[in-house]
Structure 1
Amino acid sequence: MSFHQSSDRITVPHIRARKGAKPIVALTAYSALTARLVDPHVDIILVGDSLAMVEHGLTSTLGAGLDLMVLHGRSVMRAAHHALVVVDMPFGSYERSPQVAFDNAARVMSETSCSAVKLEGGCAMAETIAFLTKRGIPVMAHVGLTPQSVMTLGGFKVQGRDRDDWSRIEADAVGVAEAGAFAVVLEGTVEPLAAQITRRLVVPTIGIGASAECDGQVLVLEDMLGLTERAPRFARRFDHLGLAADKAIASYAEAVRNRSFPGADETYQFKS
């Protein structure tokens, strides 16, 4: 299945060229509805595996399988005509070997028509990133707090609070960039380390809980709109649409119960 690719869609070279320039704006979207809302305003739409938690009520991202990512990626691509669309490679779809990663990434790109994939991991994933990029699959890397490794990390813990960890985290960022990643997501990383990594890399860094020192920012859309029950400290709520939705739904329920809805304007009458 193919999707229309707009001639003015932002491309991977466009994003790479934004290093040190105008900040890159990224948000998640998991459906045609939300993609249509964010597309005019952002540079990157991330179809994140966070959809497992936000859309499907799971407790971590580990439940987002390949079929699910493809399904949501196709939905987003139906509505996004401006932003670069990146689809997360889910847990278990790329770790086994570079060839397995290529097979699965090629499926994601061919079945969704997205522009790039994202995968988590530092130096351990450098060989895989190089394998993919040399074969025409653009890769956005993801280091620092990596949600797919939450079991190993012992939870969603901020990275870099121990200065002894800085060299390892920075080496991970450098390793994936040198392997060919066109941008690197830094998640849950202390500000001075994020700034240091951003200065060193020749590709853009995109922060999520890593401070304004990064070359761009990404947030989960539902967090910043106030639609989720709880949000991380770094996710500023730019509105509280959840409260507005609750009020509207309660009003609807009351109107049904007191029979004020549907009214005359919302009812079809028989014309004799």
Structure 2
Amino acid sequence: MSTFFGMVDVFPRREIVLSSPSRTLVGPGAVCSLSENIWRFPHIVANLCTDNTIRNRAALFRKVGLNNYPLTPSEASRASRTPNMSWRTFSKVFGGTLMAERPCCRRVEGYGNFLCTNNMAQPFAPRFPGEPGVILYFQDADTVETTNEMFHLLVSPSAARADCSLLRYSGIYTRVPLRHTALGADEWLSLSSACRNKWILRLQDGAAPHLRAIHARASLRNTLGHDPSPADVRRWMRKYKEVKTGRWLLNTAFKSGKEKLRFEVVKCVGYDVHLATIIRNEMVVDRV
């Protein structure tokens, strides 16, 4: 029996197979198969911006064989009885950076690969245990999804996009191999203003090298009048270690398509009952 984190059998009892439609229309866009395991989802973000209801999301993913993970009756029962976990309790139990999307936890052995989303920055993330979804991220970011075959996903359960204080366990997820994972300028503009502002704020607050490189390119384009070379970017980053580009220039870079968010499609491959039990027990203690 295959196990993940040495706890439970997490692989689906029925293999989730990507079907092979040659060209299937999904709303205003299309889903195209490029090879056996590599997929292209043109305009998927624009489609979801147009209609992000549960029904349309299910139809969009079902067209390419991405169905909800079939929880067993015992898993479904456990999922329904697993309470939302506060960020404070999550950090106390698992460690990692408070309120970080990828908190890099190391406190509990075997439980370090977490992706924790909120509705404002990740409006297309899975909404309930087992549902597929779309995750946005910055270009060149070193993410837990790209460095690990599988990871635990926790999502914001609140309908209020500004409320990011709680997390709900959704299951064990993996990335679907894709090509063409960059958002075009039209897709960036199709995101809500609140979502775009959240990503610009993350960019302004971040200090990671891949974020600093975006600042450098935006500033240099404004100064030079053309795209800078990699050498230009490196020189700018060495010279202006603490300088950050203004919000207007960053917005312009994404609106023009010069800078692009990336996206990934994720699917559920299992549900860790042991982790759900940890969450339930800790929240009981937290309420005492």
Whose RCO is larger (CA < 8 A, sep 6+)?
A: 2
